Amino acid sequence: MPKLILLVVIGVIFVMGAEPKVKTLSALDYIEIQQLNYKYAFALDNCTNHGEDYANLYTDDGVFVVGLNGMEFRGHAKLVEAAGGPTCARIKQPHQTHTTENLVIEASPEGATGKSYLVYPGDQGKRGDADFDGHVGGYQDVYVRTPQGWRFKSRIHVFPPQIPGEYKGVPNTKLDSQTR
Average pLDDT of the residues in 38-57 = 94
- Cβ neighbors of 179 (< 8 A, separation 6 or more) are 161
**For 116, phi and psi rounded to 5 degrees?**
-155, 160
**C-alpha to C-alpha distance for 48 and 129, rounded to whole angstroms:** 22
Report residue 7's pLDDT band, with 50, 70 and 90 as the boundaries. very low
With beta carbons less than 8 A apart as the criterion, state whether 57 and 146 touch: no
Q: Quick check: pTM over 0.75?
A: yes
**How confident is the model at residue 180, as a pLDDT?**
42
Q: What is the mean pLDDT of the chain?
A: 84
Q: pLDDT tens digits for 119-160?
A: 867 666 665 556 555 567 899 999 999 999 999 999 999 988
User: How large is the average pLDDT for residues 163-179?
Assistant: 78
Dihedral sign of CA atoms 94, 68, 100, 86 in order = negative
**Could you read off the pLDDT of 55-68 as tens digits, one per residue?**
999 999 999 999 88
User: Which backbone phi and psi does 42 adopt, to 5 degrees?
Assistant: -65, -45
Phi, psi torsion values for 2, nearest 5 degrees: -60, -35
